Amino acid sequence: MVKEELIKDVYDFCKANYNKENVIKYSNYFKGDYDAWGLTTPMIRARVKELYARKDIDLNVVLDAAPDIIKQGKYEEISIILLLIDSFYKQFNITTYHKIEKLYLIGINNWAHADTLAMFILPKFVTQNIITPTDLKKWLKAENKFQRRSVPVTLIKSLKTCNDFNEYFNLIEPLMLDKDREVHQGVGWFLREAWKKNHEVTETFLLKWKDKSPRLIIQYATEKMTKEEKLRFRKEK
């Protein structure tokens, strides 16, 4: 199969399963334009499984098709191609990583697709020693806010094997003053997960930033704390 055939296959499948009611319902989870077909998550995952099982589709075909599908902007088509990329994780290499890196500039423009990359795809490059977490440092200045968000979200899985959380805290520190809400959510999410695993070192970092960083970061980071614990991280007037 060539990329044009895969692009058409994904499009035809999504179009055939268009559901206007679902488009309206799911749009509540997104700000701005939501260009979608209204497919359910089980439908998307089932189609990915079917495509992955085909003998005429490999990672190169999927990566070649991805930019064109992302440019088209249809939510489910992008979800399918990203999850299909993830299915071929055993074939990942540094070239794969750089191709995925470029997808942010093409059209990764919502939290769901950014988190598909950061929760599933990108951590595999770390666990397979293709990149290190510090290779994501240049993303901290990315124009695309969802690429910046992907840095802390990618690091969440690495918390399981990290012996020095301060290494990661130093890495994400520039994002503690980021201007975008979606980045605040990603940073706060990462810090919340870090706190679950190491209260002391995470709280030291939070105390350093509680009066300077956006409150949404602190709100997310302290979400699992008791009311009494949260009081320590209130912003001083």
pLDDT in tens, 123-179: 999 999 999 999 999 999 999 999 999 999 999 999 999 889 999 999 999 999 999
pLDDT in tens, 20-29: 999 999 999 9
How many residues in total does the chain contain? 237
Average pLDDT value for the chain: 96
pLDDT at 32: 78
Q: Is residue 116 domain-shared with residue 30, that is, in the same domain?
A: no
Examine residue 185 and state whether it is found in any structural domain, yes or no: yes
Q: Return d(Cα 124, Cα 103) in angstroms, integer.
A: 17
Q: What is the CA radius of gyration of the chain?
A: 19
**Confidence band of 1 (pLDDT split at 50, 70, 90):** confident
The residue among 35, 63, 91 that closes a domain is 91
What are the distances in angstroms from CA 109 to CA 66, 117, 149, 154?
14, 12, 11, 17
Q: Is residue 140 domain-shared with residue 234, that is, in the same domain?
A: yes
Identify residue 130 by its one-letter amino acid code: I
pTM of the model: 0.95
pLDDT in tens, 48-68: 999 999 999 999 999 999 999
Q: Is residue 85 domain-shared with residue 153, that is, in the same domain?
A: no
Q: Cβ distance 77 to 111 under 8 Å? A: no
pLDDT at 33: 80
Residue 140's domain is classified under what CATH number? 1.25.10.90
pLDDT at 113: 97
Examine residue 62 and state whether it is found in any structural domain, yes or no: yes
pLDDT at 108: 97
Largest CA distance in the chain: 63
- Look up the domain containing 24 and give its range: 1-91
pLDDT in tens, 174-186: 999 999 999 999 9
Share of the chain above pLDDT 70, in %: 100
Examine residue 32 and state whether it is found in any structural domain, yes or no: yes
Q: Is residue 115 domain-shared with residue 77, that is, in the same domain?
A: no
Q: What is the mean pLDDT of residues 204-220?
A: 97
Examine residue 101 and state whether it is found in any structural domain, yes or no: no
What are the distances in angstroms from CA 126 to CA 9, 87, 123, 132, 135?
31, 16, 5, 6, 10
Q: Cβ distance 64 to 3 under 8 Å? A: yes
**Confidence band of 31 (pLDDT split at 50, 70, 90):** confident
Q: Is residue 116 domain-shared with residue 81, that is, in the same domain?
A: no
Q: Is residue 115 domain-shared with residue 216, that is, in the same domain?
A: yes
Three-state DSSP at 75 gives: helix
pLDDT at 163: 86
